[in-house]
Amino acid sequence: MTISELTLKTSAEIDDPVRRFEVFTGAGRRRDWSAEDKARIVAESFEPGATVSAVARRHALSPQQLFTWRREIRKAADAVPAFVSAVVAPEPAVTPQRPAPTSRRARQRRAAAIEIDVAGVRVTIENGASPATIAAVLGALKAGS
């Protein structure tokens, strides 16, 4: 019995039970996603209102595969140290007309400081700041950007 004969007959006319079968064509191998495609799909899954399942379904992936890609990208981002460009500006020349600072604290402030400018916000870390304070300031800046 041919397939066309099975499809043309009603279920009451068929003597033999119809069995389902699938025909696979093509190479039947794993898909090889480029790094750009993975990054684009992962970025799409982080968009507001997007769900991992919907994005995975749209790209014919399993949600587990997309979660794995997200985890791998997050680990790679955590492994890379985050550096910012630093600009060393020369200390402006002190003119003799300015009165000399009288307190020791004022002299320390001008002696050494770290200035960080992020998105128009300038933070100055004065000389003598503890490492914990510096780490807290940098952590706050990192979280805010």
Tens of pLDDT, residues 108-122: 445 567 787 777 777
What is residue 115's three-state secondary structure?
A: strand
Is there a single domain that holds both residue 38 and residue 74?
Answer: yes
Q: Establish if 10 belongs to a structural domain.
A: no
| pLDDT higher than threshold 90 for residue 65 | yes
Instruction: Name which of 4-13, 33-42, 58-67, 74-83 the model is least confident about.
Output: 4-13
How many structural domains compose the chain?
A: 2
Q: Establish if 72 belongs to a structural domain.
A: yes
Instruction: Name which of 37-41, 114-118, 141-145 the model is least confident about.
Output: 141-145
Give the domain range for residue 114.
104-144
Q: Establish if 2 belongs to a structural domain.
A: no
Is there a single domain that holds both residue 76 and residue 113?
Answer: no
126 band by pLDDT with thresholds 50, 70 and 90: confident
